[in-house]
């Protein structure tokens, strides 16, 4: 029987938590105010062997097919060490550090000494990732790919837009790895998508993630951004992914994959990422309003109020909005807003 997997939990308070499975140091949950931000398939396997389908698997030292080992390398299928247990920082944020060193198994696929430290910090609305890869050898260089294979949870991937890709070249894995240039200001998904965008900027925003809000990705030393969704047909080929789950996830992955990192003896590579749930101003504005309107009986006012708040989140997740304009759009009949 395979070794059971075990998890480490960061708890910042206020129902803001992050759970990391030592198997692959895979982040399997990130909840902000009790709201899950990451997608994990209902069919994910936790057998301590297979990579976990969802969350944030750690792709190393290979991205994609590999002649010497499994697809996406061994980083996501080996057990990592808990280098430093969860600890509260003076800021109130929670920190944990994992590490991985070469061992018999990794040497059988990739015969190099290495050491990785993977530090996570859970803030109020942010999750920080700091990665260091060290080459302790005196004479051998090695090269590798590294990628954080982040599965974001979304209500409907067709409504997501990803910014920051305009003008970037991309390798399209759905079209025999042909190279194209992105012409859209923001990228939407309506079919099987598997692209490696190159030399992308340090920031992307994804719209319409959970509760219709936005997610900000900031990255350092990760020149590539992979965008993946298997869509209808490819989903059926993935045994640990439900046929009907593709609308509920989008992978936007920060990595160093279209060219390898070459690490000289005695040197280190560092990269980092911050995921941030920007504060939503609109629901705050509207939640302090009571809705009364012609055609809306008082008994239904709170239901309308709830509906308006949800719609507002969908329409303008984080920008300041004019509630009256949005309400007018939603309810053409005159409505009176009473500030509580
Ligand atoms: O099924 P896996 O090995 O987890 O890979 C999932 C996908 O991961 C993406 O990052 C790749 O670009 C895709 O080609 C791949 O299909």
Is residue 60 a contact partner of residue 99, using CB atoms and an 8 Å limit? Answer: no
- The CA 301 to ligand 1 mean position distance, Å, reads 47
Return the pLDDT at 328: 44
Q: Is the pLDDT of residue 317 over 50?
A: no
Return the pLDDT at 307: 54
Mean pLDDT calculated for residue range 74-79: 98
- The fold of 7-154+230-276 is Beta-galactosidase; Chain A, domain 5 (2.70.98)
Whose CA is closest to atom 13 on ligand 1?
194
Q: Is the pLDDT of residue 339 over 60?
A: no
Return the pLDDT at 279: 81
- End-to-end CA distance of the chain: give it in Å, rounded: 60
Return the pLDDT at 300: 56
Q: Which residues are annotated as a binding site for substrate?
A: 53, 71, 76
Q: Which residues are annotated as a binding site?
A: 53, 71, 76
Q: Ligand 1: which residues within 6 Å by Cβ?
A: 51, 71-72, 149, 173, 194, 226, 228, 238, 253
Tens digits of per-residue pLDDT, 151-175? Answer: 999 999 999 999 999 999 999 999 9
Ligand 1, residue 196: give the atom nearest the CA: 12
Residue 284 binned pLDDT confidence (cut-offs 50, 70, 90): very low
- The CA 227 to ligand 1 mean position distance, Å, reads 10
- The CA 64 to ligand 1 mean position distance, Å, reads 7
> Which of 157-161, 311-315, 318-322: highest mean pLDDT?
157-161
Ligand 1, residue 70: give the atom nearest the CA: 3
Tokens of 7: 């998890």
Q: Is the pLDDT of residue 335 over 90?
A: no
Residue 219, CA distances (Å) to 2, 148, 202, 261 in order: 35, 11, 5, 16
Query: Which of these is catalytic: 149, 204, 256, 305?
Result: 149
Cα separation, 312 vs 61, in Å, equals 43
146/327: higher pLDDT: 146
Whose CA is closest to atom 4 on ligand 1?
53
Tens digits of per-residue pLDDT, 97-108? Answer: 999 999 999 999
Report the range of poorest mean pLDDT among 16-30, 173-187, 303-317. 303-317
Residue 178 binned pLDDT confidence (cut-offs 50, 70, 90): very high
Cα separation, 131 vs 143, in Å, equals 16
This complex has an ipTM of: 0.99
Mean pLDDT calculated for residue range 281-290: 40
Is residue 82 a contact partner of residue 98, using CB atoms and an 8 Å limit? Answer: yes
- The CA 320 to ligand 1 mean position distance, Å, reads 37
Ligand 1, residue 234: give the atom nearest the CA: 16
Cα separation, 210 vs 140, in Å, equals 46
Q: Is the pLDDT of residue 293 over 50?
A: no
Ligand 1, residue 63: give the atom nearest the CA: 10
Name the strands in the sheet holding 162-163, side by side, starting at the edge strand that comes first in the sequence. 81-88, 94-101, 115-122, 126-134, 268-276, 215-220, 203-206, 162-163, 186-187
Q: Is the pLDDT of residue 323 over 70?
A: no
Return the pLDDT at 333: 41
Question: Pocket of ligand 1, candidates 149, 236, 245: which has the most ligand atoms within 8 Å of its Cβ, to mutate?
Answer: 149
Residue 263 binned pLDDT confidence (cut-offs 50, 70, 90): very high
**Is 149 part of the annotated catalytic residue set?**
yes
């Amino acid at each position: 029987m395979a070794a059971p997997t075990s998890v480490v939990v960061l708890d910042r308070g206020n129902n803001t938590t992050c759970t990391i499975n030592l198997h692959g140091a895979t982040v399997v949950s990130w909840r902000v105010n009790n709201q899950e931000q990451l997608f994990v398939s209902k069919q994910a396997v936790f057998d301590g062997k297979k990579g976990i389908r969802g969350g944030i698997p750690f792709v190393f030292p290979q991205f994609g097919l590999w002649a010497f080992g499994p697809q996406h390398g061994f980083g996501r299928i080996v057990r990592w060490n808990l280098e430093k247990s969860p600890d509260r920082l003076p800021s109130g944020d929670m920190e944990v550090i994992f590490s991985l060193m070469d061992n018999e198994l990794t040497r059988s696929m990739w015969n190099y000494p290495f050491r990785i430290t993977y530090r996570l910090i859970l803030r109020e609305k942010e999750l920080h990732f700091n990665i260091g890869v060290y080459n302790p050898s005196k004479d051998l260089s090695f090269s590798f790919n590294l990628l954080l294979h982040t599965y974001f949870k979304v209500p409907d991937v067709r409504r997501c837009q990803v910014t920051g890709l305009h003008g970037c070249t991309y390798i399209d894995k759905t079209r025999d790895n042909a190279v194209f240039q992105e012409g859209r200001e923001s990228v939407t998904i309506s079919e099987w998508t598997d692209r490696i965008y190159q030399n992308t900027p340090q920031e992307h925003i994804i719209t319409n993630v959970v509760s219709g809000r936005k997610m900000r990705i900031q990255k350092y030393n990760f020149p590539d951004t992979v965008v993946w969704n298997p869509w209808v047909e490819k989903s059926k080929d993935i045994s640990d992914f439900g046929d009907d789950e593709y609308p509920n996830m989008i992978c936007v992955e920060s990595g160093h994959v279209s060219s390898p990192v070459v690490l000289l003896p005695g040197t280190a590579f560092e990269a980092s990422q911050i995921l941030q749930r920007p504060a939503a101003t609109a629901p705050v504005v509207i939640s302090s309003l009571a809705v009364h309107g012609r055609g809306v009986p008082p008994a239904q006012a709170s239901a309308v109020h709830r509906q308006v708040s949800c719609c507002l989140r969908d329409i303008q997740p984080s920008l300041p909005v004019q509630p009256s304009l949005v309400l007018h759009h939603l309810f053409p009949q005159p409505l009176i807003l009473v500030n509580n």
